[in-house]
Amino acid sequence: MAGSIEAEAKATYERFVKTRDEIDEGKRPWSDLADFFTEDAVYIDPAWGRIEGRENIREFFEKSMAGLTGYGWSTPENWTMAEGNRLVSQWDQILGHKEDGTPWLVAGLSILYYVGDGRFCYSHDMLNMTHVGETMRAMGWTPPPEFNMPPRKPIRDISLPKAWAHLESSRA
């Protein structure tokens, strides 16, 4: 792709968001998002912690989203910016709608590192999990049978992975 690394990162992220939107609509499986990551990527989830490797990320998407898809949840993007290989995106996690039509909403932020060729080597999603819990209680949400609880003691290491080497080679 011709142009700056920022433009390429943003174009790839736009495809990522389009894929996620199609997943929210039930048109694709969650595992399709793993295709946007390098084989040695790291994904940091606020509830599930650190996930290493594309195939583990693929499995994580399916397992972690079971029971959350198809209940009116969505993740609209508000803004995205890129500087060099780093991309930051602010989005809302919409957990459904109140009787008055306003959304049950929790704001989120993602930091990703882009390595080229349509792939990211790192993604760190941030949500205020206290706000998530309070919102879910207020809406009276109960987990459906297919829901999977996050690990009791997730790995909280948010350091960049060995995949960081991808960033050095992409600058050469």
Return the structure tokens found at 66: 């079971």
**What band does 163 get if pLDDT is binned at 50, 70 and 90?**
low
146, burial (CB in 10 Å: exposed 0-12, middle 13-18, buried 19+):
exposed
**pLDDT surpassing 70 at residue 164:** no
Alpha-carbon separation of residue 129 from 1, 48, 86, 104, 124 (angstroms): 38, 11, 24, 14, 14
Does residue 89 or residue 1 have the better pLDDT?
89
Q: Where are the beta strands (DSSP E) in the chain?
A: 37-45, 49-52, 77-83, 86-97, 103-116, 119-127
Write the single-letter amino acid at 145: P
pLDDT digits (tens, 9 = 90+) for 84-124: 999 999 999 999 899 999 999 999 999 999 999 999 999 99
Give the pLDDT of residue 67: 85
Task: Catalogue all structural domains in the chain, each as residue range(s) with its CATH number.
Answer: 5-171 (3.10.450.50)
| Residue from 66, 73, 75, 79 nearest 30 by CA | 66
Give the pLDDT of residue 69: 77
pLDDT digits (tens, 9 = 90+) for 13-68: 999 999 999 998 889 999 999 999 999 999 999 999 999 999 999 999 999 998 88
